[in-house]
């Protein structure tokens, strides 16, 4: 059996069992498939749906994020992901700050390397055309502006590399010490921006507030 045929078979089987209301069985089947290196946007989506049925929105959001990374323009997957994030983040304060939120959304559509490569190609093409006398200065200036736009968008999307999802509940402390005062607790599935690392701790930001959490159980964005 080919890999694609095996993936389709697992997807169909997991979808059928999910429709029967047995999310735990679905999770077992898909976890077994992942151990064999079998994954796809469909399998990750069924993983997310199974966890959603169990009201485990933290794991649901992680698997929906993986599904979106594998199928960037699937609107249904994006809606499922937003719903899971809303279920989690509605009870832990505001979401990520707007520029960071935009960076994550943009990076899920266009990879930073793609945007930067496209911007660089436009700029080099314009310079070469100007050197050969094929375009005027105004056209060169317009081309340079478009190139700078794509390079800026690529730089913005790079910010998504610093975003992580909490797999477990985390205590946010004032300093990178076990004995430091606890500011608040974040639920599994909450998203944070990682600022820096110190020993076993990382400093994170969320909605403008900063603190330190253990560097464990963090799922980095796959964009």
What are the structure tokens assigned to 175, written together? 């300093």
Shared domain for 85 and 11, answered yes or no, is: yes
CATH number of the structural domain spanning residue 177: 2.30.30.40
Number of domains present in the structure of the chain: 3
Digit-coded pLDDT (tens) for 186-206: 888 888 888 999 989 999 987
Q: Is residue 95 part of a domain?
A: no
Shared domain for 153 and 174, answered yes or no, is: no
pLDDT of residue 213: 92
Shared domain for 115 and 41, answered yes or no, is: no
pLDDT higher at 156 or 151? 151
Shared domain for 27 and 41, answered yes or no, is: yes
Sheet holding 201-206, edge to edge: 182-186, 170-173, 209-214, 201-206, 191-198, 163-166, 218-220
pLDDT of residue 39: 92
Q: Is residue 29 part of a domain?
A: yes
Shared domain for 107 and 39, answered yes or no, is: no
Shared domain for 8 and 50, answered yes or no, is: yes
In the predicted model, what is the mean pLDDT of the chain? 87
Shared domain for 29 and 84, answered yes or no, is: yes
Digit-coded pLDDT (tens) for 105-119: 777 888 888 888 988
Q: Distance between CA 61 and CA 142 in Å, rounded? A: 41
Instruction: Judge whether residue 99 has pLDDT over 90.
Output: no
Shared domain for 109 and 42, answered yes or no, is: no
Q: How confident is the model at residue 223 (pLDDT cuts 50, 70, 90)?
A: low
What is the distance of C-alpha 72 from the center of its chain? Answer: 11
pLDDT of residue 112: 83
Shared domain for 60 and 130, answered yes or no, is: no
Shared domain for 75 and 108, answered yes or no, is: no
User: How far, in Å, are 52, 133, 196, 199 from residue 85 at the CA level?
Assistant: 11, 53, 24, 29
Shared domain for 117 and 150, answered yes or no, is: yes
Average pLDDT over residues 72-100: 77
The pTM (predicted TM-score) of the whole model is: 0.76
Q: Is residue 176 part of a domain?
A: yes
DSSP state letter for 216: S
Average pLDDT over residues 120-137: 86
Q: Is residue 96 part of a domain?
A: no
Digit-coded pLDDT (tens) for 25-79: 999 999 999 999 999 999 999 999 999 999 999 899 999 999 998 998 899 999 9
Which of residues 140, 159, 178 is at a domain's end?
Answer: 159
CATH number of the structural domain spanning residue 56: 1.25.40.10
Q: Is residue 81 part of a domain?
A: yes
Instruction: Judge whether residue 93 has pLDDT over 50.
Output: no
Instruction: Judge whether residue 175 has pLDDT over 50.
Output: yes
Q: Is residue 97 part of a domain?
A: no
Q: Is residue 94 part of a domain?
A: no
Which of residues 144, 159, 174 is at a domain's end?
Answer: 159
pLDDT of residue 98: 63
Residue 137: which domain range? 102-159
Whether 148 and 119 have beta carbons less than 8 Å apart is answered as yes
Q: Look at 57-61, 95-99, 177-181 and tell me which has the smallest mean pLDDT.
A: 95-99
% of the chain with per-residue pLDDT over 70: 95
Which of residues 159, 179, 207 is at a domain's end?
Answer: 159
Q: Is residue 40 part of a domain?
A: yes
pLDDT of residue 47: 95
- By three-state DSSP, how is residue 148 classified? helix
Shared domain for 7 and 83, answered yes or no, is: yes
Which ranges of 54-177 does DSSP label H, i.e. alpha helix? 57-70, 75-89, 98-109, 112-131, 137-157
């Amino acid at each position: 059996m080919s890999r694609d045929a095996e993936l389709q078979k697992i997807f169909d089987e997991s979808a059928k069992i999910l429709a029967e209301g047995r999310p735990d069985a679905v999770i077992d089947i898909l976890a077994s498939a992942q151990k064999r290196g079998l994954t796809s946007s469909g399998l990750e989506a069924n993983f997310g749906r199974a966890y959603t049925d169990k009201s485990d929105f933290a794991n649901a959001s992680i698997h929906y994020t993986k599904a979106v990374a594998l199928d960037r323009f699937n609107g249904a997957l994006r809606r499922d992901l937003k719903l899971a994030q809303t279920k989690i983040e509605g009870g832990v304060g505001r979401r990520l700050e707007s520029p960071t939120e935009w960076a994550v959304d943009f990076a899920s559509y266009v990879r930073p390397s793609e945007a930067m490569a496209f911007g660089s190609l436009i700029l080099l093409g314009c310079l070469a055309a100007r050197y050969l006398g094929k375009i005027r200065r105004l056209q060169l200036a317009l081309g340079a502006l478009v190139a700078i736009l794509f390079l800026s968008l690529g730089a913005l999307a790079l910010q998504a590399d610093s975003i992580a999802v909490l797999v477990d509940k985390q205590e946010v402390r004032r300093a990178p010490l076990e004995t430091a005062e606890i500011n608040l607790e974040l639920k599994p599935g909450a998203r944070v921006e990682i600022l820096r690392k110190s020993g076993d701790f990382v400093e994170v930001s969320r909605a403008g507030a900063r603190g330190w959490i253990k560097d464990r159980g963090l799922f980095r964005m796959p964009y």
